[in-house]
Amino acid sequence: MRAGGTLPRWAELGLVPLLDVLCAFLAAALVVLAIGVSPLAVLRAILAGALGDAGALGYTLYYATNFVFTGLAVALAFHAGLFNIGGEGQAILGGLGTGLVALALDRVLPGWLLLPVAIAAAALFGAGWAAIPAWLQARRGSHIVITTIMFNFIAAALLVYLLVNVLIAPGSMSPETRAFQPAASLPLAHDGLRALGFAAAPSPLNASGLVALAAAAAVWFTLWHTRFGYRLRVMGLNPGAALYAGIPIGRMTVGVLCLSGALAGMVGINEILGVQHRLILNFSAGYGFGGIAVALMGRNHPAGIVLASLLFGILNQGGAEISFDIPAVSREMVTVIQGLVILFSGALAGFSRPLARGLLAFAGAALSRRAGAPASREG
Amino acid sequence: MSPGQTAQAAIELRGVSKSFGPVKAVRDVSLAIPDGAVAGIVGENGAGKSTLMNLVYGLVSPDAGEMLVRGREAVLSGPGDAIRLGIGMVHQHFMLVDTFTVAENVALGAEGSALLRPSLAAARRALGRIADEHGLRVDPDAIVGDLPVGEQQRVEILKVLYRGARILILDEPTAVLTPGETDALFRVLRGLSAGGVTVVLVTHKLREIMAATDGVFVMRGGRLVASRPTRETSPGELATLMIGDHGRSVLLPDATSRRRPAVQPEGFPGDAGVHRPHAEAAAASGPRSTQHAVSLDLRAGEIVGVAGVAGNGQGELLEVLAGMRPLAGGRIGLGGREVTPAAPCDPAAMRALGVAHVPEHRHRHGIVEEFTAAETAILGYEADPGLGRRRLDGRAAERSCAGLMARFDVRPPDPRHLSGRFSGGNQQKLVIGREISARPRILLVGQPTRGVDIGAIAAIHREIRALRDEGCAILLVSAELDEIAALADRVLVMLRGRIAGEVPADADPETLGLLMSGAGRERDAA
């Protein structure tokens, strides 16, 4: 009997987070019951709204793309022991950077050249916005948890200022720029599928989804197969060992947060180059903060982050649809569910570990009973 | 004292077992400690002493077996229960607030009232009473940080007694004490025992068992292998019981290896390995650990031991030389290179110059517990091109780690085993193996065998000597005088951040003890 023993790796990485989420859903079900609606009907409505048809699925994946970017941004910094709460501001700056490039060059460059430049600009602006708090921490010791939050507000204010006073399209009433030329648009998924001969319902899902997957793979490779990633993890797991090993903590802090900011800045390409085709206000829509929850739920592993992003994408898209089907449940209900998911898989992470242990012990006992049964009958 | 048949045992364990995953830390241990006795528990590291004491103190709960406290069955769900039953523990590392007075520290956590004044008054009264009963006298108004280490430990004991402990567990209590302070501690323990307090002394130092206890329990591999009345046993017998057959030769300093003459620097042309570090550093962590103008030189092929009571600047000296702490003044010469405050050198650059470093604090600096052994085995050396030109080749790291594990007998020899799950001794072998495998010109070693079992100690000492014989210059900081005597070619004694004196390696312990405690101060006009 191995009571209190550690769980096998697969259970720790797969089963426990799953049970955490199930607990969150159970708690959400109680809330839904309390307002007099059947939780099963809500679940059905969310799933139908998020996955019911190709168009809905496209929306879900489009939302998930943003969560992958910001989730990776948070996770990468977290592995270095840095808590980047500035994903929101870095996403705004990423959108600003990519938008400025598009506005400046969309009549000059062809799409195949413009898009890479615009994507690089998003990364660069996001990185630059993260570099300032990073440098302040490395040099001056001002904690990035404080400074990155403040930089979110500065970024939002900067975008409002630029859109209202500088970049606004002449004659426009709303604070947004002119629409970009088609050269600055990322290919849409349904166009791509149609070109391959599949009929697909239109959705905002675009090529940045592939960028997100590539980013997840790149983060995985960086963390576990490069010297930079090795040093980054030493720094996060044992800063004393980093000092001992001669890892330059200040420089690493700036480098890691720049990469983190670049990842968050990629939200800008999905939103601005992929969907809006102009620079608008509030396109970051809380993805920067959502990324913290996604990273928590995904256990800071790129694969986990992709899965958690899908869940958050489903909640976002299904939640948008739900009030059509069940008027008693508003959009805010989904925020409640998201909050519960964060509570159970973040603050209470591993809360269901005893449950997982019990389940495993039960399964083990059942298996051995089945295996042992014929033998005992013979005896 | 023979366990199991005493009239009234303070603590009795019956068939207690505890496993952590596949590791059986304590197996079927039954013992009884008589009321008012001083009992010793000895064993190698990893023998299960600490787990056993944690079971008694309620920090972990047993898988099987039962425990009786003064004849009554006790099920502990935490240290709180243990304290209520009168069991107290003095940890190896003090848990004191340096800036508080003795009375404040004693009352801390046991205030018993919302206002401070009544609880302080109660603490003061209790301190007076305890002083009368046990002769354990400490000024209640002294600031703890100003007290010498031996008296700080006395405050720890007072804290436990103040909480009503009648059974006192001390975990390696002498690790930080000078020989004189150790003797004083033993007198205190005797006094407590005479006053009816049961004392359990957990240690791996046989000399202390012989000096301080009435009875001794020997643990090996999680089992209780023997119990003896102290006057009927000998260090040799205990050592044999602790590790099996070759206890004796390992434990007593090896006479042949000890007196080997230092390799002459002339033997190394072009001062390849010769360097003259001259460190002047003013560290900023309190007066007692401040370092003042330390000058020393270290030649190829010699081991220089640095003795001293813990916290007199030895650790800071190592860290300055390793590049982990900035140099406040002076210079360090390493072969051709010179390190000064204006031209500092970080630990990575130091490694590139051939300076390897086995840190004093293994967990804080030497390993990353969440890493695999292979990952820990490249810490500081991850830039090695042998680990892949562009990407970091995990397979190559695992292969070289497997080689290291074979050479240094790290168990289990699995490069993917998590670093934090190795025993202390095997973690240390991993760290020392890593540093020695780098073929350094200079090796800085801090507490190479702290928390390491006796079998591993011999192996580690052998490796350090072999490295010296290859011409490496070695600076050894150790709290174990036996270790310094066994390894060093000459010995420096540090006191309050200064080199208080240099003695030959065969100096007698009294001379060393005097220098360490400051009584033999003759060089420093303070």
B442-446 sheet: strands from edge to edge:
B355-358, B442-446, B473-477, B303-307, B490-495, B498-504
| Higher-scoring residue by pLDDT: B199, B316 | B199
Q: How far out from the chain centre does Cα A160 lie?
A: 24
Look at residue B107 in the predicted model and tell me its pLDDT.
Answer: 85
- The residue of chain B nearest to residue A238, with distances taken between CA atoms, is B368
pLDDT tens for residues A327-349?
Answer: 888 777 778 887 888 788 777 77
- Residue A6 lies inside a defined structural domain of this protein: no
- Residue B220 lies inside a defined structural domain of this protein: yes
Q: Is it the case that residue B245 has pLDDT exceeding 50? A: no
Q: For A206, which DSSP code?
A: B
CATH code for the domain in which residue B307 is found: 3.40.50.300
Q: Is it the case that residue B435 has pLDDT exceeding 80? A: yes
Q: Is it the case that residue A258 has pLDDT exceeding 80? A: yes
pLDDT band at B79 (very low <50, low <70, confident <90, very high): confident
Say yes or no: B265 and B353 in one domain.
yes
Say yes or no: B259 and B142 in one domain.
no
Chain A contact for B369, CB < 8 A?
A: yes
Say yes or no: B228 and B344 in one domain.
no
Q: Is it the case that residue B251 has pLDDT exceeding 50? A: no
CA separation for the pair A117, A107 (Å, rounded): 14
Say yes or no: B39 and B51 in one domain.
yes
Mean pLDDT across B157-166: 88
If one counts the domains in chain B, the total is 3
Averaged confidence pLDDT in chain A = 90
- If you search the block for the tokens 């309390």, which residue do you land on? A34
pLDDT tens for residues B45-54?
Answer: 667 888 899 8
Chain A contact for B346, CB < 8 A?
A: yes
Mean pLDDT across B469-483: 88
- Residue B411 lies inside a defined structural domain of this protein: no
- Residue A372 lies inside a defined structural domain of this protein: no
CATH code for the domain in which residue A313 is found: 1.10.3470
Say yes or no: B145 and B21 in one domain.
no
3-state secondary structure of B178: coil
Q: Which residues have CB under 8 Å from B340's CB, separation 6+?
A: B327, B330, B331, B332
Say yes or no: B447 and B348 in one domain.
yes
Domain that holds residue B338: 255-361+440-517
Q: How far out from the chain centre does Cα B475 lie?
A: 18
Q: Is it the case that residue B205 has pLDDT exceeding 80? A: no
Say yes or no: B464 and B504 in one domain.
yes
- Residue A101 lies inside a defined structural domain of this protein: yes
Look at residue B336 in the predicted model and tell me its pLDDT.
Answer: 75
Interface contact flag, B379 A227, Cβ < 8 Å: no
Say yes or no: B264 and B339 in one domain.
yes
- Cβ neighbours of A241 in B, within 8 Å: 364-368, 379
CA separation for the pair B149, B168 (Å, rounded): 19
Look at residue A264 in the predicted model and tell me its pLDDT.
Answer: 98
Mean pLDDT across B299-307: 91
- Residue B389 lies inside a defined structural domain of this protein: no
- Cβ neighbours of A2 in B, within 8 Å: 19, 21
Least CB–CB distance from B379: residue in A1, A5, A241: A241
pLDDT tens for residues B452-464?
Answer: 777 788 889 999 9
Structure tokens at B489: 């070619």
CA separation for the pair B150, B288 (Å, rounded): 14
Chain A contact for B59, CB < 8 A?
A: no
Structure tokens at B84: 């209520």
Look at residue B524 in the predicted model and tell me its pLDDT.
Answer: 41
Say yes or no: B172 and B153 in one domain.
no
- Residue A274 lies inside a defined structural domain of this protein: yes
- Residue B262 lies inside a defined structural domain of this protein: yes
Given B251, B285, B312, the domain boundary residue is B251
CA separation for the pair B98, B462 (Å, rounded): 40
Please state, as a whole number, how many other Cβ atoms lie within 10 Å of the Cβ of residue B185. 21
pLDDT tens for residues A199-227?
Answer: 788 899 999 999 999 999 999 999 999 99
- Residue A27 lies inside a defined structural domain of this protein: no
Given B141, B162, B183, the domain boundary residue is B162
If one counts the domains in chain A, the total is 1
CA separation for the pair A226, A238 (Å, rounded): 18
Mean pLDDT across B512-526: 57
Using CA atoms, how far residue B260 sits from B298, B303, B376, B393, B474, in Å, is 17, 11, 34, 42, 15
Q: Which of B137, B179, B178 is nearest to B157 (CA)?
A: B137
Say yes or no: B179 and B202 in one domain.
yes
Which has the minimum average pLDDT: A339-343, A370-374, B244-248, B396-400? B244-248
Say yes or no: B72 and B188 in one domain.
yes
- Residue A33 lies inside a defined structural domain of this protein: no
Given B113, B143, B162, the domain boundary residue is B162
Please state, as a whole number, how many other Cβ atoms lie within 10 Å of the Cβ of residue B439. 11
Q: Is it the case that residue A6 has pLDDT exceeding 80? A: no
Phi, psi of B156, rounded to the nearest 5 degrees: -60, -45
| DSSP codes of every residue in B413-452 | --TTSBGGGS-HHHHHHHHHHHHHHT--SEEEEESTTTT-
Domain that holds residue A182: 54-356
Interface contact flag, B371 A3, Cβ < 8 Å: no
